[in-house]
Amino acid sequence: MPPNAVPAVNPPSEAWPWPPMVRASVGCHLMAGGAALLLPGAVPWAIGAVALNHALITAAGLTPRSSLLGQNLTRLPPAAVARREVAITIDDGPDPEVTPQVLDLLAAHGQRATFFCIAERAAAHPALAREIMARGHSIQNHTARHRHNFSLLGPRGLAREISHAQQLLFEVTGQRASCFRAPAGLRNPFLAPVLHRLGLSLVSWTRRGFDTRERDPAVVLSRLETDLAAGDILLLHDGHAARTATGQAVLLEVLPPLLDRLGREGLRAVTLPEAFE
């Protein structure tokens, strides 16, 4: 297995395992269609059933940590918990101003992180992306462009966006990503089978700091530290980062005390491939 790979729960060679909610949704549509055709007066009830089903699916897609639409990794596996490991994941970069400082902070504390990079940004700053890898961190797939309408794309649109990101990241780093994170964690029922075909595992988080909109580092840190435990996956941002009153990316003020806390607790921040190895 390549050093940058996370073992897929369902290998791409196997058929995509339909989640119970998706199976129920298909059944709902079939039953509603049959009832509308065969039972007098059933059309309003059939339309209502389908509308309710769509509302439930939409709600699942708008819940980033939900697994109702397919596999979604929100914590590290038991073996990583036993090793007292956590995962710091950093999204939306690389950023030529912020990311080098993040790398220095991580190096000073002897900790590692996983960078969910926007592929076109990695391609625009290839030396920085390669520096991330050279320092022992991992780069994973966060789409090619971080489209705001990502969760509205159909199967072909999702496949184009994600596979293009895969190719760009491979060209820059020489390694293929094995993890994927959707923009803002939002998705639809078409995403899971696309990821399965591409051999990618969907990864969300245990807790997030909301550091793209919260300008107070203390608030962000509190959200990440509350009930912090081995196995947690933490979400921060080097790209699209909110700025403090002094103009500094919030991440840069949150990382030092967070890394100090990990050290005091005897926790080790590792990359996702390391944790799932």
- Of 146, 196, 237, 238, which one is the catalytic site residue? 237
Q: What is the rounded distance in angstroms from the CA atom of residue 201 to the CA atom of residue 192? A: 9
Q: What are the b/e assignments for 95-133, b being 16+ CB within 10 Å? A: beebbebbbebbeebebbbbbbbbbebbbebeebbeebb
Q: What are the b/e assignments for 237-254, b being 16+ CB within 10 Å? A: bbbebbeeeeeebbbbbb
Vertex 188 angle, CA 185 and 191, to 5°: 85
- Dihedrals φ, ψ of 144, to 5°? -80, -40
- Say whether 92 is catalytic: no
- Of 91, 92, 211, 238, which one is the catalytic site residue? 91
- Say whether 237 is catalytic: yes
User: Residue 153: exposed, middle, or buried by beta-carbon count in 10 A (0-12, 13-18, 19+)?
Assistant: buried
Show which residues are catalytic: 91, 237
